[in-house]
């Protein structure tokens, strides 16, 4: 099991991520029949320059595992093999799926691998060389922004807007750097489709609007928490209570997706069939919320009960815009008789979820703007629990065991509504146990007839 001996700008999960890439490249180019494994991490650094530039110096050795073995966790040092020190240099531009890896071991020649580009020579061109040698930092930033625009089909009306979005993109690179630098879990953050939006614009896009709450409404009843022993992990996706990930688009309708996701789970558990229900019905017909300009899950529960229920997704399909209400009570597939507020204690939340199904929650989505994957655990200063702006759905939980550094990390599995290309196939894993990003502030569920 490798030790981390020297200074590091990377957390353990990042070291594991990048070192795995480096060792995999080394294995592919070596003449040995066996895999290499790391014994000691001597030094690691990370720099944000037109992407991520990571350097890791490690002591490695040949293992007893053949290259055909894809799992390195059980590999040990091959008897008689000699250790050597290697420097791994990895440059990633994830928004264009570009990776360049250079490996130098002791006095051996440098080996270079590039993805999505032809190898014209064996020289590893670092981001610093590229920025300072062939172009300015401003040019590199602009080129990165143009690549981002091309990947996500971004278009701006005029030069003034282009320049403004370029500045936002640059500022967001700094925010990404902070999130990665101070991440306490295993999450990685990078350039997503939202990298040209300010924090305020991104927050407004989600649609959770706590200021719309009607203070005269009586609160829902408190849910009874079952007295059960919790399993180590639990996932309603594997039990037929969660539909496919949907996409709210540019409409601030997260609240509607959170509600329909919860009702879909409740209906499946009560009636034994997994159906998809209509978010567009709520966007168009819930006049107590504000459609694509936002709303609240609590209000939506009440409105569904008053209207008489929800139609199916196929009968009232999603348009992602405020349209005229065309609700047909004769096509209602599910009715709601009320809702429950669930305890803010996360152990209680887990117990209720195991016994009763997915939970609707609100969360501060600040860290989600740039989320790539892993278990997200930002500091409160980067993701305030008091600034809830997004409605989502908890569908399960688990514990990540990180044997390399003797850590375990409990997490929630959260279904988002930004399509399957975002995050982990549309899902967000977030730390469980300390109210990260306010996820425990408003847990609730509909009561399905």
Q: Return phi, psi of residue 32, to 5°.
A: -70, 150
Burial (Cβ within 10 Å: 0-12, 13-18, ≥19) of residue 18 = buried
Instruction: List all residues 6 or more positions away from 61 whose beta carbon is below 8 Å from its beta carbon.
Output: 36, 37, 39, 77, 78, 81, 82, 83, 84
Where is 63: in which H helix or E strand?
Answer: strand 52-66
- Residue 124: Cβ within 10 Å count: 18
Closest alpha carbon to 43 in 26, 25, 55: 55
Q: What stretches of 125-278 show up as alpha helix (H) in DSSP? A: 127-129, 137-151, 159-181, 199-206, 254-271
Q: Are 274 and 313 in contact (CB under 8 A)?
A: no
* Structure token digits, residue 350: 């887990």
User: Residue 445 pairs with which residues in a beta bridge?
Assistant: 340
Q: Terminal CA-to-CA distance of the chain, rounded, Å?
A: 54
Please report, for the chain, how many H helices and E strands are present, in that order. Answer: 9, 19
Burial 275-297 (b: 16+ CB within 10 A, else e): bbbbbbbbbbbbeebbbbebbbb
CA 181: distance to chain centroid?
A: 16
Residues with a known catalytic role = 254, 390, 416
Q: What stretches of 219-323 show up as alpha helix (H) in DSSP? A: 254-271, 279-285, 297-307
Instruction: List all residues 6 or more positions away from 124 whose beta carbon is below 8 Å from its beta carbon.
Output: 89, 100, 102, 110, 112
Where is 391: in which H helix or E strand?
Answer: strand 390-402
Q: At what angle do helices 137-151 and 159-181 cross, to 10 degrees?
A: 100
Residue with tokens 């690549």: 147
Q: Are 432 and 412 in contact (CB under 8 A)?
A: yes
Q: Are 313 and 277 in contact (CB under 8 A)?
A: yes
d(CA 153, CA 150): 5
* Structure token digits, residue 422: 């975002």
How big is the CA angle at 197 (ends 192 and 200), to the nearest 5 degrees? 125
């Amino acid at each position: 099991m490798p030790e981390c001996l020297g200074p590091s700008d990377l957390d353990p999960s990042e070291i594991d991520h990048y070192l795995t890439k480096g060792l995999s490249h080394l294995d592919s180019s070596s003449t040995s029949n066996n895999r290499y494994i790391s014994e000691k991490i001597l030094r690691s650094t990370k720099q944000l320059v037109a992407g991520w530039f990571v350097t890791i110096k490690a002591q490695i050795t040949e293992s007893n595992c053949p290259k055909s073995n894809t799992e390195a966790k059980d590999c040990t040092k091959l008897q008689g093999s000699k250790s050597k020190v290697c420097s791994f240099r990895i440059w990633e531009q994830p928004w264009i799926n570009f990776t360049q890896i250079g490996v130098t071991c002791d006095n051996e020649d440098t080996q270079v691998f590039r993805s999505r580009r032809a190898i014209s020579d064996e020289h590893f061109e670092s981001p610093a060389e590229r920025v300072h040698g062939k172009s300015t930092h401003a040019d590199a930033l602009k080129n990165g922004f143009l690549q981002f625009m091309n990947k996500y089909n971004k278009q701006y009306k005029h030069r003034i807007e282009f320049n403004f979005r370029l500045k936002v993109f640059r500022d967001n690179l700094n925010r990404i750097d902070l999130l990665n630098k101070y991440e306490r879990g295993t999450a990685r953050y990078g350039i997503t489709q939202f990298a040209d939006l300010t924090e305020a614009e991104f927050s407004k896009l989600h649609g959770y609007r706590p200021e719309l709450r009607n203070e005269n409404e009586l609160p829902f009843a408190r849910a009874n928490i079952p007295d059960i022993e919790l399993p180590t992990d639990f996932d309603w996706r594997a039990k037929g209570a969660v539909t496919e990930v949907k996409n709210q688009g540019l409409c601030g309708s997260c609240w509607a997706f959170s509600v329909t996701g919860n009702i879909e789970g409740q209906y499946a558990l009560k009636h034994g069939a997994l159906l998809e229900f209509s978010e567009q019905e709520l966007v168009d017909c819930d006049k107590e919320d504000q459609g694509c300009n936002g709303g609240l899950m609590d209000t939506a529960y009440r409105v569904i009960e008053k209207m008489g229920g929800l139609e199916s997704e196929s009968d009232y399909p999603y348009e992602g815009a405020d349209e005229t209400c065309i609700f047909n009570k004769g096509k209602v597939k599910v009715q709601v008789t009320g809702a429950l507020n669930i305890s803010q204690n996360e152990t209680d939340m887990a117990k209720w979820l195991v016994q009763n199904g997915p939970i609707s929650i609100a969360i501060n989505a600040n860290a989600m703007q740039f989320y790539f994957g892993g278990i997200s655990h930002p500091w409160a200063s980067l993701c305030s629990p008091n600034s809830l702006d997004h409605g989502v759905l908890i569908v399960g939980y688990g514990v990540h065991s990180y044997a390399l550094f003797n850590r375990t990390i409990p997490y929630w599995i959260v279904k988002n509504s930004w399509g399957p290309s975002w995050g982990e196939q549309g899902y967000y894993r977030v730390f469980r146990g300390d109210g990260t990003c306010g996820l425990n502030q408003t847990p609730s569920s509909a009561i399905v007839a």
